[in-house]
Structure 1
Amino acid sequence: MIKIKNLTKTYQNKKTKTTVLNNINLEIEDGDIFGIIGMSGAGKSTLIRCMNLLEKPTSGSVHIDGINITNLDRKSLSKVRKNIGMIFQGFNLLMQKTVEKNIAFGLEIIRIKDFVPENMKINEYKSLSYLEKRKVKKVETKRKVSELLKIIDLEDKAKAYPSMLSGGQRQRVAIARALATNPSVLLCDEATSALDSMTTKSILTLLKKINEETKVTIVIITHEMNVVKEICNKVAVIDQSEIIEQGSAPDVFKNHQSEITRQLIGGEL
């Protein structure tokens, strides 16, 4: 579960102070596909970056699985982040690496002693020599990449480079890379806004399938109501740095109270 309590984020220079998020309170249950929707400049991207502390809140707290991550030191935060995958609007792939190398990247940067093979007991792994651990890690990484290529339906693109892929294919690779470390939470920052409608639908179908099969909690930041309608079971509407409505997606669509929500539902962006 993700709990956000009284979260505020401000930026200040010598002359001005700007509040980007004001007293945000949210609860996201395990297994939710939770949409956070708002117009440009509402604060939604800052909010999702506060969830994994890419942006540190000015005040308030973020709790993941009962841990207040805003109080963690760098080493402890790094461990928590292994359970949080993130997908960006611009894909953020390594252009000089192949598709399979991009997917493997998150696993490759994990230190040998911190690596946890899925098909081996942790005590058994710890008892291995350094060279044996390297071999196990290499085999396990290859297996995981192969599994993810199948999930995103890009097995034939394993040796291709990002420049050889379409936008939708690049985003599929970004999703696979985010899933490589078996995160319990997947954060999506405008993950479909650079894609056409048909490609967007295929990406949303993929995310829904992943949620159903792995039970990963997905948080989607978007300004597109059709994205929320397609896959989200819960939604929060953010406007001028504050949450103005939240609840189950059907309830918010049917019983919305604010003019901003009405405009978003009506597509008046």
Structure 2
Amino acid sequence: MIRVKALTKEFKNGKQTLTVLKNINLEIEDGDVFGIIGMSGAGKSTLVRCINLLERPTKGIIEIDGVDITRKSRKELLLLRKNIGMIFQNFNLLMQKNVRKNIAFGLEITRLKDFKVTSIPQKDFNRLSYFDKRKIKKEEINRRVDELLELVDLKEKENYYPAKLSGGQRQRVAIARALATKPSVLLCDEATSALDSMTTDSILRLLKKINEETKVTIILITHEMNVVQKICNKVVVLDKAEIAASGVTDEVFNNNSTEIVKRLLGGAEA
């Protein structure tokens, strides 16, 4: 479970202070597909960057499984972030690598002593010679990439380079890459904003499938109402740095008493 308690984030600009998030409190349970929605500038992306401490909150606590991660050292945070995958609006793929190499990249750069194996007990792996470890690592990476290619339906495209792929296919590669290390949390920052409606629907179906099959917790940041309604079981609505509404998705939007919820339901530009 992820708990955010009394989180405030401020940025200094000379003598001025800009409050981007103010007194944010929320809980995200294991296995949730949790939506964070609001107009542009509401603080959505900053909130997500605070959750994995790419941005340090000015005040407040962020707990993951009961542990306050704001007290963790830099080394501990690096280990923590390996358990959090991220996908973005602009895909962030390596254009000089094909689909298979893009998916494998995070695993390939993992040091041998940090690489987690599944084919043999870790203690037996640790006793192997350097070259035997490299062989097993390569075999495990290939197996994992094969699994992910099947999951995102890109097996036939494994040797294609990103320039030859559609936007939806590129996002599928990005999703597979984010899942390569088997994270327990997947952060999606405007992951469908650059896609057309049909492609968006296919990506949302894929994310829902991944959530159901792997039980990964998905935190989805968007300004698109239809995205939240199609996939999220819970939602928080941000407005002017604060939480305007939160709860079960259907209940939040059926009880559209706040102005920002009415605007979002009305299709206002974000």
Tell me whether the two structures share a fold, i.e. TM-score over 0.5.
yes
1:146 aligns with 2:146: yes
Paired residue secondary structure (2:102): helix
1:230 aligned partner:
230
Q: What letter corresponds to residue 181 of structure 1 in structure 2?
A: T
Shift of 1:82: 0.8
How far apart, in 2, do the equivalents of 1:220 and 1:249 lie? Answer: 13
How far apart, in 2, do the equivalents of 1:97 and 1:123 lie? Answer: 33
Tell me if the contact between 1:245 and 1:256 (Cα under 8 Å) persists in the aligned partners. Answer: no
2:57 aligned partner:
57
1:112 aligned partner:
112
Q: What do residues 208-245 of structure 1 show as CA deviations (whole Å, max 9, x unaligned)?
A: 00000000000000000100010100000000001111
Equivalence map 1:167-186=2 (5 Å):
167-186=167-186
Q: What letter corresponds to residue 11 of structure 1 in structure 2?
A: F
Q: What letter corresponds to residue 144 of structure 2 in structure 1?
A: K
Tell me if the contact between 1:116 and 1:122 (Cα under 8 Å) persists in the aligned partners. Answer: yes
2:208 aligned partner:
208
Of residues 59-68 and 231-240 in structure 1, the stretch that sits farther from structure 2 once superposed is 59-68
Equivalence map 1:120-159=2 (5 Å):
120-159=120-159
Of residues 256-265 and 79-88 in structure 1, the stretch that sits farther from structure 2 once superposed is 256-265
1:12 aligned partner:
12
1:242 aligns with 2:228: no
Q: What do residues 107-126 of structure 1 show as CA deviations (whole Å, max 9, x unaligned)?
A: 11211011111232222222
Unaligned runs of 5+ in 1: none
Tell me if the contact between 2:244 and 2:260 (Cα under 8 Å) persists in the aligned partners. Answer: no
- Taking a change above 3 Å as real, the CA distance of residues 120 and 256 of structure 1, as seen in their structure-2 partners, is farther
Shift of 1:15: 2.7
2:256 aligned partner:
256
Paired residue secondary structure (2:187): strand
Q: What letter corresponds to residue 59 of structure 2 in structure 1?
A: S
Tell me if the contact between 1:100 and 1:158 (Cα under 8 Å) persists in the aligned partners. Answer: yes
Tell me if the contact between 1:63 and 1:69 (Cα under 8 Å) persists in the aligned partners. Answer: yes
1:33 aligns with 2:33: yes
1:73 aligned partner:
73
Tell me if the contact between 1:28 and 1:34 (Cα under 8 Å) persists in the aligned partners. Answer: yes
How far apart, in 1, do the equivalents of 2:109 and 2:9 lie? Answer: 31
Shift of 1:96: 0.9
What TM-score do the two structures reach when normalised by structure 1? 0.98
Shift of 1:20: 0.5
Aligned pair count? 269
Paired residue secondary structure (2:218): strand
How far apart, in 1, do the equivalents of 2:86 and 2:107 lie? Answer: 14
Shift of 1:70: 1.3
